[in-house]
Amino acid sequence: MTEPSTEQADDSVITSVSNGVGRIELNRPKLINALSQDMVTHIDDALQAWRDDDAVSLVLVTGRGERGLCAGGDIKAVYNDIVAGSDENAKFWNREYKMNFAISEFPKPYVVIMNGITMGGGVGISGHGSHRIVTDSTKVGMPETGIGLFPDVGGTHLLANAPGELGTHLALTGQPVGAGSAIALGLADHYVPDAQIPDLIADLTAGGDLDTVIGKYTAEAPADELAEAADWINECYAGDEAEAIVAALAAHENPDAQAAAELIATKAPTSVKVTLAAVRNAETMTLAEVLEQDYRVAVTLTELPDLKEGIRAQVIDKDRNPKWSPASLAEVSDAQVQSILTTDHAEKVFS
């Protein structure tokens, strides 16, 4: 017997329940479903409501539009809040990180379709789920060092647990990967061709058995595009000093390693050093501890010049020519990095 559908909609998120499936549809397709504070609130509220609701046996998360699940947080809003001098960014990150943790501990299957662009905050709403499905079009990444931020939303927890130093490579360069690498690195679980996604969603929302439906559509994943790079990545990214890593990459005979050094050199130096330290810390932290660290770092970085400058260069003026301060890795001291990682603020994620 088909259960009645209940639906709640606003401009940015559509939630509904039917046939035991709680659906969360991100609905800002023109912005590749970039997350706003209202969206985070709606998602978190839905998860809290469905935890103990017998009418919901699984959650299905998708993004509307053809370009991807979610491009990350709404960085124009972040920029505007920095300019205004408000505390809205701190409120956003606090609620977002609570939501990330709620996903990781959700007691029912959490199925997410990671098609197209799935970056930054998009990794936060997908990477901690139980059933993470990637497709031909998937591009998963944490590009935050390019705007003066760092891989937050528990991203360093995911990357620190990737094989070898592959996660460190993605964290510092911000480069995205496709379906094959996403699965190999532990960022996803199943590959389903894009053309099969509508049928998979239809079968799930009709009340089909989760394992049976996923098994029906899962195919052999594309090749891991980082497999051949693993040797030089593991060699060059070993250690805890960003300068040494960049020097090793630049000196390596592999042109891809040299290109990685050049790419890291374009990122915010403070972000690169903070990101490396955060990844190393995350190797021995729980997700909750990482998210608490994320909050300390994110709030502190809003008080420094690079985040505002990075967003300006990427999406406000679009000149792609940020002026980082400090301008080089050598100018960023270990003491500064540790201060950013450890400075407490008035609020905490878990209090």
Phi, then psi, of 194 in degrees rounded to 5: -50, -40
**DSSP element (H, E) containing 81:** helix 75-84
Annotated catalytic residue 152: yes
* Tokens found for residue 350: 């878990």
Could you tell me how many helices (H) and strands (E) the chain has, helices first? 16, 9
3-state secondary structure of 64: coil
3-state secondary structure of 224: coil
Catalytic residue among 116, 120, 121, 148: 121
Annotated catalytic residue 73: yes
3-state secondary structure of 58: strand
Cα 316 to chain center, whole Å? 22
Measure Cα distances from 251 to 2, 32, 323, 330 in Å. Answer: 63, 38, 26, 18
* Tokens found for residue 102: 């709620």
Annotated catalytic residue 65: no
Catalytic residue among 74, 96, 144, 189: 144
Annotated catalytic residue 256: no
Specify whether the CB–CB gap between 299 and 345 falls below 8 A. yes
Rounded CA-CA distance 23/27 in Å is 12
Looking at the DSSP assignment, which residues form a beta bridge with residue 167?
none
Catalytic residue among 73, 127, 154, 155: 73
Rounded CA-CA distance 131/112 in Å is 6
Return the sign of the alpha-carbon dihedral for residues 111, 115, 118, 122. Answer: negative
Helix axes 88-104, 75-84, angle to 10 degrees: 140
3-state secondary structure of 296: helix
Rounded CA-CA distance 173/190 in Å is 25
CB atoms within 10 A of CB 64: 14
Catalytic residue among 44, 81, 152, 224: 152
CB burial of residue 148 (10 Å; 0-12, 13-18, 19+): buried
Catalytic residues: 73, 121, 144, 152
